[in-house]
Structure 1
């Protein structure tokens, strides 16, 4: 490991011990990064300042020169008046806007560690993230500050942006001069991305400056192959690494631009594609299915690349989209632990119904629970390795994810004789609904905070439109009013909306073995446990 630029060494001090770290591979010439590297400076410094970088549905276009000046100004405020030093964790919260992206770049350019969360997350969730990452500073869209303030994180200094106050980030005095990027090591931690764990406790995935460029120099460069004139757009927010890569890292690495939308559901995407001539689209299979039914009257002829990840892409959806649009969806699997997509295929290499082959720079295999490769055609655990690997922040689950240097993703896969990988199922209790990863135990923990709930089990049930939907089974205390609507209202205040169950089933008892172990499989397969 190289000499760190971090003054606050918390992130580096809490990396997994060397014996638990993944084996990294840098097999491509473009992955030979220098020892000193600041990824924000690299992304900002490669493109003509007169070229567009960020667009919004109704606002003015940001150019690379504008973005650099605004990033530098924010970095001056961070390191000056706010007192942020290299290695400090800075929480970023707000809807997808150019200002959120500028704040992310400024945090990294200043050598601090970006912790981007969803604008939807509730106080309880935000407090957990801040506690795990020891966050001391937050940059928050003025419209999203209420829940963060309600989290009551000890010592957290919240600075809003986009508001009317004199102390707003964008109104604070700062030198009108370039900001010299902190000379970070390539393996200094740049960001901590949180993902739900199967136990309910979120896991912080630490990624270094080199990782940010590596995902662009593997998947984006070799599979997506963007052009400088491309306009990117998509549904995932920047709080998800799927969105961070597809809407910020990949377009900027290519000198292209992206359309950043605060609301980016299927209803908003279709007119936006036509209005802004979007050519590269990132979204989940659920959205492609929804847009298929609304294509009439919308011009999508500008699309040349469509990327799908977040959940399995059915062959029927692929064929229907190709038939209607002429565009072949690039399917892929990625993980927050690995930052972005590591198995995929494009153009003539696509085989509908499969995920694809390892992205150049990555290796993949299917293995049994003991780590031995299984024969082609037999299901097993997907294991991958490449230039990026899982580094959980002080979490014993590191030993489960990284085994003998391989990242074991928790997915069951089959590889065929031609080397194509096909998804079978999740190997744990994670529910994947409309591209969101939802930990059943986390929802259970929140539901158990309701005073009337005695026991609960949360599972995923197959759903044609969303892949899976979240279903909560609950046993109530004797005499309690049996009102699923009250449980729904309670959870809406406790969890982000996408985690809330679509259905509540009130039962007298949960199915258990003779030894008392909950039989989740019965809840998944028996449609009615009432």
Structure 2
């Protein structure tokens, strides 16, 4: 095995004359140690978007499909011309300079993908935001990121305009996905010739700022450089995913979420593959039907959505599908087996973090072990440690610590000291590692339930409950209890045809006792119509605790 090397500081001068983000990065003593395998070679001067398009051209993919929808398909060459036109608009019409932030607001669409690429091609900093955010939440992001301009899907203008009207520090809003409207990105871009020299960014210049999806309250801004994203391309996509140029990618994670940005844009570009963006909202049935209609071969979504798609996949079949990736929240083994029964496909599970850009523990195919997320992705190192950072024996619950070619760099946030300690990244998850190097997710570290001295991971109780025929969805938390310290409580969404009541409570409790150690059963069960989730599908257990 090659010995990793610490990356030297970039020798290339920064091209970003606006130093707002650079000046607000953590102090050097708070940085993660960025460790690169010797075979990873990223030039000191590198523009992420230019590298990806140049790679596609060098591999003969210029005329291959890249961005697809039900209305249009763009080749890599077509997309590059449109990206260059957008970069021209931003730099020539609005006089933006490298390092300026551009807020992006939109769902998954060709327009959103082109806008993101155009921003980064121009040396600007992409600040993508979730489509469902309201004016107050957008205002908080604007106040933190101080964008010079916003590119917004025409269907989502109202909340962004409201955020500006409420005093947000935001100037011009340029709508996209709007044709023939004066001032729209399409009309402005049509006036350009598509000849644009990519900004000669240093590899350590800032490419993007990603706001965390808010499972634990107020979001934080994670900063990633051009080098970070290119290094991520050489880790999980190369060693685990192994996408091919003939792959057609579909999925639900938003481009504003790094799971979606990697899976639904950056990693397909790296592989020379294509991505399909729907013009309609995905439902489980719609996604399965569209997979078959477009011949999708690779799918990204969250465990809950796979569970909901399974009956449709079993009924309709998914003959073109070959790779299914689950991330964003813990994958219950019950869901993995349900999907495998429906499709014959062994899902790729993975854990990543906005702060790390993408997945760092994962396994595929024959390497999958039931109940485990997988092994550490080549290029990264991971260990399970105690509160003092010392590695615990295999089989012991502890906190996950990770080091590799990407790491956490929060923008102007005291919480950096909680995430990075001694150069290691602490994503906040409790894990067990076995003797074979497999990592088993237990819970978010602050979600561990300690009842009568025993550790109980909410996800394992959820997995047990999901195996009961009455349960559609569930969430498990710990509640304070004078006698036991904490007790296990489950919030359960029932499948149609099942009636809430004491008899079902007992049935569910007995089911868990028969599946897990009896002390792990939920002493309280509350039946609810739905569970609180982020836009990316993550269960918000902190909201359950507040209910």
TM norm. shorter chain > 0.5: yes
Instruction: Check conservation: 1:286, 1:465, Cα contact below 8 A.
Output: no
Q: Which residue of 1 aligns with 2:513?
A: none
Secondary structure at the counterpart of residue 267 of structure 1: helix
Q: Does 1:359 align with 2:373?
A: no
Partners of 2:310 and 2:537 in 1: CA distance: 25
Secondary structure at the counterpart of residue 142 of structure 2: helix
Partners of 1:279 and 1:255 in 2: CA distance: 14
Q: CA deviation at 1:146?
A: 0.7
2:392 is aligned, of 366, 370, 374, to 374
Partners of 1:131 and 1:324 in 2: CA distance: 46
Instruction: Check conservation: 1:198, 1:429, Cα contact below 8 A.
Output: no
Cα deviation code 1:333-378 (max 9, x no counterpart): 0100001000000111100210100001011000011111111000
- Answer with 149-158 or 187-196: which moved more: 149-158
1:52-451 maps to which residues of 2 (within 5 A)?
52-56=65-69, 58-152=70-164, 153-163=168-178, 164-172=180-188, 174-196=191-213, 200-262=217-279, 263-428=281-446
Partners of 2:391 and 2:125 in 1: CA distance: 37
Which consecutive unaligned segments of at least 5 residues does structure 1 have? 441-458, 467-487, 504-519
- Answer with 194-203 or 268-277: which moved more: 194-203
Indicate how the Cα distance of structure 1 residues 360 and 499 shifts in structure 2: closer, same or farther if over 3 A, else same. Answer: closer
Indicate how the Cα distance of structure 1 residues 200 and 312 shifts in structure 2: closer, same or farther if over 3 A, else same. Answer: closer
Partners of 2:445 and 2:367 in 1: CA distance: 27
1:447-462 maps to which residues of 2 (within 5 A)?
462=491
Secondary structure at the counterpart of residue 42 of structure 1: helix
Q: Which residue of 1 aligns with 2:43?
A: 34
**Number of residue pairs matched?**
459
Q: Which residue of 2 aligns with 1:451?
A: none
Instruction: Check conservation: 1:235, 1:265, Cα contact below 8 A.
Output: no
Partners of 2:409 and 2:296 in 1: CA distance: 35
Partners of 2:313 and 2:340 in 1: CA distance: 12
Indicate how the Cα distance of structure 1 residues 295 and 135 shifts in structure 2: closer, same or farther if over 3 A, else same. Answer: same
Q: CA deviation at 1:175?
A: 3.0
Cα deviation code 1:205-229 (max 9, x no counterpart): 0000011122221101110001100
Q: CA deviation at 1:28?
A: 4.6
Q: CA deviation at 1:324?
A: 2.3
Instruction: Check conservation: 2:32, 2:420, Cα contact below 8 A.
Output: yes
Q: CA deviation at 1:83?
A: 1.3
Partners of 1:159 and 1:422 in 2: CA distance: 45
Partners of 1:266 and 1:4 in 2: CA distance: 45
Secondary structure at the counterpart of residue 312 of structure 2: coil
Indicate how the Cα distance of structure 1 residues 409 and 497 shifts in structure 2: closer, same or farther if over 3 A, else same. Answer: closer
Instruction: Check conservation: 2:362, 2:373, Cα contact below 8 A.
Output: yes
- CA RMSD, 1 decimal: 2.9
Q: Under a length normalisation based on structure 1, what TM-score does the superposition of the two structures give?
A: 0.81
Q: Which residue of 2 aligns with 1:506?
A: none
Indicate how the Cα distance of structure 1 residues 64 and 198 shifts in structure 2: closer, same or farther if over 3 A, else same. Answer: closer
Instruction: Check conservation: 1:92, 1:140, Cα contact below 8 A.
Output: yes
